[in-house]
Amino acid sequence: MDELIEQENRGESPAAEDATVEGDALARSLRRRTPFRSPAQRAGIGLLRAADLFRRRLSRVAEAEEITLQQFNVLRILRGAGAEGLPTLSVAERMIERTPGVTRLLDRLESQGWVDRTRCQEDRRRVIARITDSGRALLRRIDEPLARAEDSAFEGLDSDRLETLGEILDEVRAGLERSETEFSDGD
């Protein structure tokens, strides 16, 4: 009993906090004892948690072919670019997860024989990356298992809810992209 009084004196109320998070599946999965500060905090943490679980699911599929998700992403970008390929900076701009080390990433892909790079004749500073036949073969092997992993992650949602989720994520991403400079100006 003394412990409960001490907790209340400190502004803690375990019973009330547990009741608040009791119906919250995210709070339970994180073993939170206190409620989220706001709906925005809950949504942000939920988004991060879901993204982590989704990334780990896809990574397991990619790792079976000894490739990372970033490498897979680059190969898909280059496959989509066709025979003309893309400059290194354009590859970096199209990546799902931005990385400052796209040159090193392309180095690893080239050493595996999945990418070929050549200097642009008009501008020798530009390097054009292209997917090789070996890279396309790798994508053909991994495309179907990865598609199954992606689809299975959303099995509980019907097409209307998936469409709504996509629209909400578009809005969140657009807001983050607009405000990104606001947070990077202080660097």
Strand order in the sheet with 127-131: 86-87, 127-131, 115-119
> What percentage of the chain has pLDDT greater than the value 70?
83
pLDDT in tens, 131-149: 999 999 999 999 999 999 9
Per-residue confidence (pLDDT) for residue 25, from 0 to 100:
83
pLDDT in tens, 3-29: 433 444 444 444 434 435 666 888 888
Domains present along the chain, CATH in parentheses: 66-168 (1.10.10.10)
Q: What is the dihedral of CA 138, 142, 143, 148, to 10 degrees?
A: 180
Please, are residues 72 and 62 in contact by the beta-carbon 8 Å criterion? yes
pLDDT in tens, 41-84: 989 999 999 999 999 999 999 999 999 999 999 999 999 999 99
Instruction: Check: pTM over 0.85? Answer yes or no.
Output: no
